[in-house]
Amino acid sequence: MKGPKLIPPDAQAGARYDVGYGRPPEEIRFKPGRSGNPRGRPRGSRNKKPALNEERLKEIVLEEAYRRITVRDGHRNVSVPMAQAIVRSMAVNAAKGQHRAQRLFAEMLSSTERQNKAQVDEWFCAALDYKIDWEEELHRREILAITNLPDPLPHPDQVKIDMDTGMARIEGPATKEALAEVLRWREKQTEFQKELEWIEADLKRARKPERIAILEADKKQVKRVLETISTALGKLDWRR
């Protein structure tokens, strides 16, 4: 025989009900036998497509392509990106005489070289056009005695064109940031050059061996700094 249903005091009619954490107001509490989401899940929400700007599949493909895996290379294990391992396997199979691998590898190599050449050709044409256009503009300024306009950066003389190889390159700073760095190095070079001159002048006047030894050590240190600066400027600087 079942006993009477026990109802806790806070659920009895007219009982005091304290609203708080885990105790919502009575009018919005879930009712027995009624769903808390009567409308249910929106149709297609589980299979909702990503927005066009997300391109999640591309991200997944790239993540997998460059995920590092361990492969056997001779007598040792090496860690390489997945894409590199696949290309290496294809090249090995092609070298072994597998016709399908040979065809795929040849097509991939041809496509890669074709794209690289297209990029080089595009850069060469852009550099050549830039050099010609700015040379004409600077010549026009010279004829008209226009001196209040700044020179372009990079200067057309910095653009080196090799018609034999079809290659183009820029010597020296090509941006404002790079130019500012060059100017900073030049300023430091001037400061240390002056310091070297002061040390050499002090050496001529020095008589005590201890003083001479200190100055000689300082001179060597400053010369090393100047060599470092000269090397840095050799990579960054350009002068007409």
DSSP per-residue letters across 115-165: HHHHHHHHHHHHHHHHHHHHHHHHHHHHHTT--SSPPPSS-GGGEEEETTT
Structure tokens given for 133: 């256009």
Residues 41, 44, 49: CA angle, nearest 5 degrees:
130
Task: Give the closest residue to 24 by CA, choosing from 36, 7, 41.
Answer: 36
Instruction: Classify residue 181 by burial, with Cβ atoms within 10 Å: 0-12, 13-18, 19+.
Output: middle
Give 49-104 pLDDT, tens digit per residue: 666 556 788 888 889 999 999 988 888 999 999 999 999 999 999 999 999 999 99
Structure tokens given for 107: 């097509």
154: cis peptide before it, omega within 30°? Answer: yes
Q: Which amino acid is residue 144, in one-letter code?
A: L
Q: pTM for this structure?
A: 0.56
Neighbours of 87 (CB within 10 A): 15
Q: For residue 69, give the 3-state DSSP assignment.
A: strand
Pairing between β-strand 68-73 and β-strand 159-162 as defined by DSSP bridges: unpaired
Mean pLDDT computed over every residue of the chain: 83
Across 11-20, 30-39, 231-240, which has the greatest mean pLDDT?
A: 231-240
Average pLDDT over residues 188-192: 93
* Total residue length of the chain: 240
Instruction: Classify residue 196 by burial, with Cβ atoms within 10 Å: 0-12, 13-18, 19+.
Output: middle
Asked if the model's pLDDT at residue 44 lies above 50, the reply is yes
Residue spans of alpha helices (H) in 2-98: 56-65, 82-95
Stronger pLDDT, 63 or 22, i.e. the higher one? 63
| % of the chain beyond a pLDDT of 70 | 76
* Residue matched to tokens 């007409």: 240
